[in-house]
Amino acid sequence: MSTLTPLSQPASRDFTLSDFDFELPPELIAQHPAAQRSASRLLDGAPGAITDRVFRELPGLLNPGDLLVFNDTKVVKARIFGEKASGGKLELLIERVLPGHQVVAHMKVSKKPLLGGKMHMAGGAHQGGFDALLLGRWPDANGPLFHLQLSDEPHALMEKHGVMPLPPYIERPAGAAAHADTEEDEQRYQTVFARAPGAVAAPTAALHFDEEVLAALAARGVHTASVTLHVGAGTFQPVKTENIAEHHMHSEWYEVPKATQQAIAECQARGGQVVAVGTTTVRTLESWAKFGQVSGDTQIFITPGFEFKVVDLLITNFHLPKSTLMMLVSAFAGYEHIMGLYRHAIAQRYRFFSYGDSMLLRRTKID
């Protein structure tokens, strides 16, 4: 049993998409990270004791014996520019690597190539780049993604020819400059413990951790473990239906290692709190708890009324209005409480989204 004593929230209310909307001044959308990772702000969202802090204060907010669980996915340089055989410009965002040098990708192009069409990426194979062949749509003939055959190993090609797939709300120069990463983005849009290549978006709550904070956590007696969830571009997919039950959730691959399963069991046995670093870690742990699968694809959609089985505390950044992640944090900490925290954050000029600030949330209990 956890030592956490959660507050209660009613489970009976029917929520619509509009409930998760809010007005955000555009200047609060962070375009660059804080000068130092742990120098970002941390909103301590304890009910009745909301406190503005700095992220490096986090170790003092946790107890010896608690368990921090990170997502160790690594962002790959999945954004690659090229052209069709006919000469039309295109852009690929590689979402998933399959066996046999095949990938699944988003494609930005004025007119989609025909089945079997060849694309010359980064100049094409004859100019030091590589070629891609369109095999079809994914996951089926009507799917939103494209199934491609590449001329070489995908991860090596991305590392050589790709750029970091920054979120659409982070603005960078267009034109030739868009084909190369800035030194800042290459270093800072990646966690310090990234290990498993496969994400097209960073698990952003983990971007605040540096070696200093990790050392302070260890000295405090806080344990750590990791899971893997390869964050897909679907994390930025807008919800288009007012009835949120009609939203089709995107699929992402995850894994909960045996060592992490054991660490969670030991934490719960000693009365510690399981602290998820980021919503991707929540989705991973709660998918495992709900469906019993230690690895595979998940389309879990967490909305108010969801019964959490593993996670006690959550460290998370501030999310897009009307997004599935706003629904997740509202399910976790209570809708009214979350909306109050967002009003506070806007009034206090917190920085929002991927390069922005973070907050610490406690789980509520559903009556």
DSSP 9-65: E-S-PPP-GGGG-----GGGB-SS--SSGGGSEEEE--TT--EEEEGGGGGGGS-TT
Residue 139, token pair as written in the block: 């996951």
Q: Yes or no: say if 153 and 101 are a contact pair by the CB < 8 Å rule.
A: yes
Count the neighbouring beta carbons within 10 Å of the beta carbon of residue 156. 12
Say what the pLDDT of residue 219 is. 98
**Other C-beta atoms within 10 Å of 211: how many?**
11
Distance CA 32, CA 163 (A): 17
DSSP three-state, residue 293: coil
Give pLDDT, residue 59.
Answer: 98
Q: Which domains does the chain have, with CATH numbers?
A: 8-75+188-366 (3.40.1780.10), 80-162 (2.40.10)
Q: Return the pLDDT at 7.
A: 42
- Confidence (pLDDT) at 224: 98
Predicted confidence pLDDT, tens digits, the chain (367 residues):
233 333 444 444 789 999 999 999 999 999 999 999 999 999 999 999 999 999 999 999 999 999 999 999 999 999 999 999 989 999 999 999 999 999 999 999 999 898 999 999 999 998 999 999 999 999 888 888 999 999 999 999 999 999 999 999 999 887 767 788 889 999 999 999 999 999 999 999 999 999 999 999 999 999 999 999 999 988 888 899 999 999 999 899 999 999 999 999 999 999 999 999 999 999 999 999 999 999 999 999 999 999 999 999 999 999 999 999 999 999 999 999 999 999 999 999 999 999 999 999 999 976 4
- Report d(CA 210, CA 235) in Å as an integer: 24
Q: What is the pLDDT of residue 53?
A: 98
Q: Structure pTM?
A: 0.93
CA dihedral 151, 156, 157, 159 (to 10 degrees): 180
Task: Pick the closest to residue 122 from 70, 147, 157 (CA basis).
Answer: 157
Which residues have C-beta within 8 Å of that of residue 348, sequence separation ≥ 6? 52
DSSP letter for each residue of 79-118? EEEEEETTS-EEEEEEEEEETTTEEEEEEEESSPPPTT-E
Q: 151 is written with which tokens? A: 């001329």
CA angle 361, 364, 366 (to 5 degrees): 155
* Predicted pLDDT at 2: 32
Residue 120 burial (CB count, 10 A): 19
